[in-house]
Each structure stands twice: as structure tokens, then as C-alpha cells.
Amino acid sequence: MIFVFRRRRRKKKALTAEQAAEVERLRAEAKAALPPRLAQLAALHGFTYNKVRIKHNSSNWGSCSELGNINLNLNLMRLPEHLRDFVMLHELCHLRYLNHGPEFHALLESFCPGHRALARELKTYRLL
């Protein structure tokens, strides 16, 4: 399993009731919005994936497995649209290259110009 944007593991803190409610709100939004957008981006760029799941974790924005399954973090709903698309395109490119080598970056750059600057911008956001 390849994870993107892995962060230092922090001690898991219990969510407050308010945060837990926010997570459930984001989950519902994510389930409605992210799978159709992923399908759209995949069709646009000629990718075929297996399953997409919405997850909540504090270690990555998304992941892609060698079986072609894509996981997307419900926290993507807290990002501006261009960063949400960037993460989804990043995961789609892993369907072709399960690494972060030069070919992977060249492919991602072709769909998502300036993707390295987007990666820096993404780092300014925290996972809830």
C-alpha cells in the first residue's frame, strides 16, 4: 500500500463531541461529492480503478493499493477544490506507478501543472 502525504504519527486524541459531529457531517458530504468527482477525473484522463472508499484517518489525504482501490480522506471536503482534485489525480497516477519516481511525477504534472507547488500548499492544511 502506498500512502501519500504521510505525516508524523501523533498520539490519537479523542475527538470532542463537536469534532465528532463535524467528522460525520464531512463524511456525508464526502460520500456524496468525492466518488463522482473521482470517476469524472478518471474518465477524463483514461484511468480505471477498482473501488473507492471514504476514510477518516489522520495520516494521509488518500491512498491507492496495488489492487486499484482508492481511499479518500473525508478531510478532503475541507480543502479548496483545486487541492481536492490534486489529491485525487495523485492517487489516480498511482494506478500506473505505485511509487513517487520521476515517471510518476511527469505523469501527474501532465494532468496537474505545477503539482509540486500544490503539494506545498496542501501541507498548510491539517487533518482533523
The residue (of 4 and 128) whose beta carbon lies closer to Zn ion is 4
User: Quick one: 30 or 61, whose CB is closer to Zn ion?
Assistant: 61
Binding of Zn ion by 4 (CB under 5 A): yes
- Tell me the closest approach of the beta carbon of residue 100 to Zn ion, in angstroms: 6
Mind giving me the DSSP string for the chain? -EESS--PPPPPPPPPHHHHHHHHHHHHHHHHHHHHHHHHHHHHHT---S-EEEE--SS-SEEE-TTS-EEEEGGGGGS-HHHHHHHHHHHHHTTT-SS-SHHHHHHHHHHSTTHHHHHHHHTTS---
98 lies in the site for Zn ion, by CB under 5 A:
no
Is residue 41 part of the contact set for Zn ion (CB under 5 A)? Answer: no
**Site of interaction with Zn ion (CB under 5 A):** 4
